Amino acid sequence: IASINTLAGWVHFKLTGQKVLGIGDASGMFPVDMTTKNYDKKFLAAFDNLVADKKFNWKLEQILPKVEVAGKPAGTLTDAGAKFLDPTGAFEAGCLLAPPEGDAGTGMVATNSVTARTGNVSAGTSVFAMIVLEKPLQAAYKNQIDIVQTPDGSAVAMAHANNCTGEYDKWINIFGSAAKALGADFSKPQLYDTLLGLALKGDKNCGGLVPYNYISGESITGFASGRPLFVRAQNANFTLENFMRAQLFTALGALRAGMDILFEKEKVAIDSLTGHGGFFKTAGVGAKIMAAAMHTAVSSMKTAGEGGPWGMAILAAFAADNKGMSLSDYLNKEVFARAEITKTEPDAADVKGFDEFFANYKKGLAVERVAVESLE
């Protein structure tokens, strides 16, 4: 092995000839020390000791990219890099490049979530929440919580679930097919907005309906594979409103299981959570459901849809001229000072309803496990 890298780091190497990674992306490759802003020496030594009998001609640190934090220069565009971008030769070499980051780090920047007690949640086909920590976690949670870093080197706890909107997309398509068979004429946005809007009219606890959206497995809840499932007691209040509300609640079930580790076991506190992704597309619905599930206010910004590429552009501007500010101050004062932000506070009745639903959700995981074991 000559070296190992991430996709962002490899592209950066092609452009600059430098094997450099932003600290956020680097922390996804190997644990990073919050104090030194570099790979953790204790873990590097542990790895090298474990493979000592292999007689490799390298130490792990020698094949890892150099770590840099946001705002630091990470090389300049070479002649070869310029030609890689523009084979015609019109693009000139020499410009500064910022430390490269992956979509997690750039997403934090794009949602202004790099300060302790802030976080962002991306909800679409899959869902993950990233919370900037005030202090390190007391324990490790394998397959449940990952620890990464903000682009300026603060510790972040990430809970990731494989499934979110995929299953309710299929149900909405079924209902749309039924409506069209009856002669109805409507657009796809109308279909989604109408059905998802019904969720706000259902019983707060979904009337005893419990679906599972496990198109694939969920490591947070201990499933290597999944089976989409819908369960109800005979006396449950089986209405379309409750069905749609339950589909939205279950889309956040696995994520909530991960967040409970942070909230209940680690006593992590958050002041704000910024949401982006398809789950929030229907105005007023996704944010309200997310606020109930996360027990905290959920904000959305018009710019959040720009996502990672815009976040990386901000990091590039910060590297070119940080104006003597920290990344957090730069974002607050230079980028988001006039941002249009919509904030949705959690409704107490919705929170109580989600908690009641989630209690049933956890009990019913035994049914999901039997379905996985019994159905091919």
**CATH no., domain 1-100:** 3.30.420.40
**pTM score, whole prediction:** 0.86
- Indicate the pLDDT class of residue 276, thresholds 50, 70 and 90: confident
Q: Average model confidence (pLDDT) for the chain?
A: 95
For range 164-175, the mean pLDDT: 97
Residue 150 has pLDDT above 90, yes or no: yes
> Does the fold of domain 103-306+326-376 match that of domain 1-100?
yes
pLDDT of residue 301: 82
pLDDT of residue 304: 61
Q: Domains of the chain: which residue ranges?
A: 1-100, 103-306+326-376
Residue 302 has pLDDT above 90, yes or no: no
pLDDT of residue 305: 61
Residue 287 has pLDDT above 80, yes or no: yes
CATH number belonging to the domain at 103-306+326-376, selected among 1.10.1740.10, 2.60.40.10, 3.40.630.180, 3.30.420.40: 3.30.420.40
pLDDT tens profile 55-113? 999 999 999 999 999 999 999 999 999 999 999 999 999 999 999 999 889 989 999 99
pLDDT of residue 14: 97
3-class SS of residue 351: helix
Q: Which tokens sit at 154? A: 């603060």
Q: What is the 3-state secondary structure (H, E, C) of 207-269?
A: HHEEEECCCCCECCCCECCCCCEEEECCCCCCCHHHHHHHHHHHCCHHHHHHHHHHHHHCCCC
- Indicate the pLDDT class of residue 283, thresholds 50, 70 and 90: confident
Beta-bridge partners for 132: 156
Instruction: Tokens 């597309």: give the residue.
Output: 281
Four-CA torsion 291, 349, 285, 236, nearest 10 degrees: 120
Dihedral sign computed on CA atoms, order 82, 88, 89, 90: negative
Q: Which tokens sit at 178? A: 């039924």
Angle between the N-to-C axes of helices 188-198 and 166-181, in degrees from 0 to 180, rounded to the nearest 10: 110
Alpha carbons within 13 A on the beta-carbon side of 210: 21
